[in-house]
Amino acid sequence: MKHAYTQLIATLRHWDYEYYVLDNPSVSDSHYDAAFRELLAIEAAHPDWVTPDSPSQRVGAEPISEFNKIEHRVKMLSLANAFSLEETYQFFEKAAKDLDIATDTLPIFSEPKLDGLAISIHYDNGLFSYAATRGDGQTGEDVSHNIKTIKSVPLQLATDNPPATLEVRGEVFMPKAAFAKLNSMAVETNGKTFVNPRNAAAGTIRQMDPKIAAGRDLRFIPYGIGDYQGDAEFMAHSQILDYLARLGFRKNAPCDSFLGSFAEFTRNYALMEQVRERLPMEIDGIVYKIDTLALQNTLGFIARSPKWAVARKFPAQLALTQLLEVDFQVGRTGVLTPVARLEPVFVGGVTVSNATLHNMDEIERLGLCIGDSVEIQRAGDVIPKISKVANIGAQRTAIIMPSVCPVCGAAVERTVGQAAYRCTGGLSCAAQGAERIRHYASRKCMNIINLGTKLIEVLYSKGILHTIADIYTLKASDIADLDGQGEKSAQNVLDSIKATKNTQLGTFIAALGIHEIGEESAKAIAKQFKNYPALISATYEDLLQVPDIGPVMAKNIVDFFADAKNQAIVQAIIDAGVNWPDVAADPAQAQPLAGQTWVITGTLSMPRDQAKAALEGLGAKVSGSVSKKTTAVLAGAEAGSKLAKAQELGVKVVAEEEFKKLLANYTSAELL
């Protein structure tokens, strides 16, 4: 019986290979389904027999609760782009020069650039181990649960002599037909539609529950290897692709090919441009690589991409349509962006009905009116844009920026010298709410460490947080009841809100997110007005007296505090217990460390920004390097070269404990 089970696994694996890798199934779907059901029945009767490479294990995993970070053992690079034949030639001419060989003799391999997402898949002794996204090239995210559901990804390599370690790198994508089917089903069920197959593939891989990926048709085609410990020896990139095909992976055949000579580029590119529309998947260019590994190794890398490979991108695709309307979207920072509503048009494989217009200057530059016939440009996954007015409409209407915010009704203003128009609704505009709360809680502002962006967005979308004042009425149950949270994390959030109630006036002003008022200007304002009542009654002229505060900033501050809703929100925060010491009238008393320069080094138990803010609150300057002019060095654990330099120069070194005493006792500047 066990033997029959092992046989059944081998048979199903072979049928998957025929279907998903060779595109050449030898059995009908119903035959396959019957065998799969038999497998499930055996496994239900003998759970101890189930092996990790059984086809049933592709969807076996439970939903994950978060994406774990994965450090890439070998950096995952991206590719340099070329947008013309000239640029492609230039790329390889430079490579040939660096190699000191004739350009014509470069051995070039060509592969289509699949429009998907790069994934790294690890095998240990031939068995699937884990898979990760590229991320920033150094660190990706563990997406094993979803990658395992892709049938063209072998769970076991097809070899009796597997390498100890193999990292296969390639592209996960959704075929065009699968994308169209997914979207039409989503339309029928009022579900989420995707703008293109690439977004559909990426959106699927970002799901926590592998059942979603298992129900969608994703494919994987490798383009190379990363980490490798095995016996095989490769002389060329094309040999690596052949090796991977022998292990059970798909090849990009017949689209990948070895180009006899450098002059073959033109022919190859023209051919690929022609066949592109007929391919089952979207491609956004052709990748040309120097095939010989020894030459690749000699060339090496520049910044984040290899010097031996380049992606020749297809040009943007164009189509004509009509501009029906322009709406204004209010972004998270209050900027109003005009968005073109278009007569739907099919361009570059997707139907486009909206395009960004960026700002009013762009509309003026294009000479655009509603009713005009326009040219739409779409390049890869970039948001479509209107490239020009193709024909002036018979009936055209001028595009006018609204005078009030479409979300909150507050006045819309344009800052002199800037292209952007902004809503002046401040803290009470719903379109800006989540961003304002994120800014307020961020590390450089109130530093509410456990109230992160994701949590803010969830609380905001559920209507629990509307404004920054609502942070102080949060209850443990508001957080504990959310997916992925619990009693403990809820308490951590409430604790960090409480712990940051004692702050500095400058920090609080910066946290309000008044347009153009950053950390430094907020500090200067606090220093000048010393307390909150003085600040809110300051006039435009008073504000212009503050060093480094210009007319735009002064106006923004006056406007902000003139708004009764903003004042009410700030008052609610003060009533909730947020407080700061007055910056006392006597500068010597208020700023006992005035004129001093401090350097912070090593690991402190408090966040470094907090130590810096505290020192600055006492009047000290905080510098990044130690010199004879340094008054003191605040040294945390494992302090290194800065501490050594301080000792060498005889500069005073203050340990964290001593520093905390100093903070507790404002005026004890004699400590130094």
| CB 571, min distance to ligand I6G, A | 53
Report the C-alpha gap between 117 and 93 in whole angstroms. Answer: 29
The smaller minimum CB distance to ligand I6G, of residues 224 and 581, is found at: 224
The smaller minimum CB distance to ligand I6G, of residues 21 and 510, is found at: 21
The smaller minimum CB distance to ligand I6G, of residues 306 and 348, is found at: 306
Q: Give the residue among 270, 272, 233, 231 at the shortest CA–CA distance from 254.
A: 272
| CB 268, min distance to ligand I6G, A | 14
The smaller minimum CB distance to ligand I6G, of residues 256 and 435, is found at: 256
Q: Which residue has the tokens 């020009």?
A: 388
Q: Residue 570 contacts by C-beta under 8 Å, 6 or more apart in sequence?
A: 469, 512, 532
| CB 114, min distance to ligand I6G, A | 7
Residues contributing to the site for ligand I6G (CB under 6 A): 77-79, 111, 113, 118, 171, 223-224, 287, 306, 309
Report the C-alpha gap between 232 and 94 in whole angstroms. Answer: 31
Report the C-alpha gap between 289 and 662 in whole angstroms. Answer: 62
| CB 182, min distance to ligand I6G, A | 23
Instruction: Report CA-CA distances (Å) from 600 to 63, 119, 446, 636.
Output: 44, 40, 20, 8
The smaller minimum CB distance to ligand I6G, of residues 251 and 565, is found at: 251
| CB 418, min distance to ligand I6G, A | 37
Residue 124 β-bridge partners: 127, 165
How do beta strands 317-330 and 412-414 pair? Answer: unpaired
Q: What are phi and psi of 108, to 5 degrees?
A: -110, 135
Report the C-alpha gap between 627 and 317 in whole angstroms. Answer: 58
Report the C-alpha gap between 437 and 457 in whole angstroms. Answer: 9
Report the C-alpha gap between 380 and 399 in whole angstroms. Answer: 28
Report the C-alpha gap between 333 and 405 in whole angstroms. Answer: 13
Is-contact 13 55, C-beta < 8 A?
A: yes
Is 629 a known active-site residue? no
| CB 642, min distance to ligand I6G, A | 38
Identify the active-site residue in 75, 94, 97, 113: 113
End-to-end CA distance of the chain: 82
The smaller minimum CB distance to ligand I6G, of residues 299 and 336, is found at: 299
Report the C-alpha gap between 14 and 9 in whole angstroms. Answer: 9
Q: Give the residue among 438, 430, 513 at the shortest CA–CA distance from 471.
A: 438
Helix (H) / strand (E) containing 265: helix 264-275
Is-contact 268 257, C-beta < 8 A?
A: yes
Report the C-alpha gap between 353 and 634 in whole angstroms. Answer: 58
Q: Which runs of E-coded beta strand occur in 192-334?
A: 219-229, 257-259, 283-290, 301-302, 305-306, 309-313, 317-330
The 8-class DSSP code of residue 314 comes to P
Report the C-alpha gap between 583 and 592 in whole angstroms. Answer: 12
Q: Give the residue among 77, 92, 100, 136 at the shortest CA–CA distance from 312.
A: 92
The smaller minimum CB distance to ligand I6G, of residues 296 and 566, is found at: 296
> Active-site residue numbers?
113
